């Protein structure tokens, strides 16, 4: 009798759980539903993405200012040029994104990322270029720290692939109409529908390759820096000031690499889980700015340790080898 009662209660709980899940799915915005409901799939992610990008850009302005105030007399000229290039690329991408926002609100009354196709294409290219520059910066740091050339080549190849993939983003690959389900509803069956389906598959593949290669770059960089940190610290006196300095600086580089890798994987997860929506665009605009901030953070981290020049942040053995090779 008790077993039957328990089974009955378990069945009621299971049925209630199923009904709650069905109700939750029914309340989730559907891109094929009325126009009043798709804002959660388009306007909200784009708004959050723009706001996060602007917030990170503000932090980048502060970091660049701090860098040139603190290190313009100690860092080599080429390193300062790299920082300037990263900053200019981010400023240009912000201008393009802002132009898209203003024009879409004025002409359409809602946020759209592809309303000005040339600006969106330029923005996609700038995103890839910014990520590749930061990856190149980390590759240079790995070379200075004694990283193997094969690992650096792999990172460069993956970075070039991600840059090419994100540069392929255009109105045919990924646009507002596809997100809202307009092509499938308007084209119906036939060759046009098949072509639209092929474009959607191609766009999804391009998006996935871009995010996967980006995350792989960050993971490889982080693991390599972690390995080099352990190898370098073995050759140094654990209680010395130099060992403390190297450990602190390289730990910051590892942390920033983990942050960028986590952001890329999170965007990939959002894209895979919420297909047919713009939810992944919460991180689309802010991802390259996050890269730039992480690169500046590794440079400005020297303010927290004795010795402000870049050469003082390197192990003495590596500094000596670098001077001999020069």
* Domains identified in the chain, total number: 1
Domain membership flag for residue 10: no
Domain membership flag for residue 115: yes
Residue with tokens 């090779």: 325
Domain that holds residue 210: 32-325
Report the length, in residues, of the chain: 326
Of 125, 71, 56, residue with least CA distance to 286 = 56
Domain membership flag for residue 301: yes
- Return left, alpha or beta for 213; rule: phi > 0 is left, psi -120 to 50 is alpha, else beta: alpha
The DSSP code for 315 is -
Contact between 244 and 233 (Cβ < 8 Å): no
Of 269, 291, 321, 287, residue with least CA distance to 53 = 287
Q: Which helix (H) or strand (E) holds 215?
A: helix 191-234
Domain membership flag for residue 160: yes
CATH of the domain at 197: 1.20.1070
pLDDT by residue, tens only, the chain of 326 residues = 545 545 555 555 455 555 543 443 344 444 444 444 455 556 677 888 888 989 999 999 999 999 999 998 888 999 999 999 999 999 998 888 888 878 777 777 666 665 566 777 888 888 889 999 999 999 988 888 888 899 999 999 999 999 998 888 754 555 444 444 344 444 445 555 555 556 566 667 888 888 899 889 989 998 998 888 888 877 777 767 767 777 777 888 888 888 888 888 888 888 888 776 777 778 888 888 999 999 999 899 888 765 544 444 444 444 444 333 33
């Amino acid at each position: 009798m008790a077993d039957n009662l328990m089974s009955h209660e378990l069945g009621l709980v299971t049925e209630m759980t199923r009904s709650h899940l069905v109700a939750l799915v029914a309340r989730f915005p559907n891109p094929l539903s009325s126009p009043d409901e798709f804002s959660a799939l388009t306007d909200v992610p784009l708004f959050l993405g723009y706001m996060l990008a602007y917030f990170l850009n503000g932090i980048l302005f502060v970091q660049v200012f701090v860098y040139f105030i603190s290190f313009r007399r100690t860092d080599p000229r080429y390193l300062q040029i790299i920082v300037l290039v990263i900053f200019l690329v981010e400023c240009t991408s912000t201008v393009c994104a802002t132009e898209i926002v203003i024009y879409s609100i004025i002409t359409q009354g809602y946020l759209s990322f592809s309303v000005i196709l040339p600006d969106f294409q330029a923005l996609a290219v700038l995103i890839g270029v910014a990520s590749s520059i930061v990856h190149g910066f980390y590759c240079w740091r790995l070379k200075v720290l004694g990283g193997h050339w094969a690992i650096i080549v792999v990172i460069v190849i993956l970075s070039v692939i991600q840059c090419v993939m994100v540069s392929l983003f255009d109105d045919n690959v990924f646009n507002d109409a596809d997100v809202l389900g307009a092509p499938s509803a308007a084209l119906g069956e036939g060759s046009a529908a098949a072509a639209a389906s092929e474009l959607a598959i191609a766009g999804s593949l391009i998006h996935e390759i871009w995010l996967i290669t980006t995350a792989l770059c960050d993971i490889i960089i982080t693991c390599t820096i972690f390995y080099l940190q352990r190898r370098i610290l073995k050759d140094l006196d654990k209680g010395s000031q130099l060992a403390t300095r190297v450990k602190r600086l390289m730990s910051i580089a590892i942390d920033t690499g983990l942050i960028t890798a986590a952001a890329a994987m999170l965007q990939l997860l959002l894209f895979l889980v919420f297909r047919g929506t713009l939810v992944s665009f919460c991180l689309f605009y802010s991802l390259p700015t996050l890269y730039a901030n992480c690169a500046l953070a590794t440079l400005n981290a020297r303010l927290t340790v004795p010795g402000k020049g870049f050469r003082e942040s390197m192990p003495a053995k590596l500094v000596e080898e670098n001077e001999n090779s020069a």
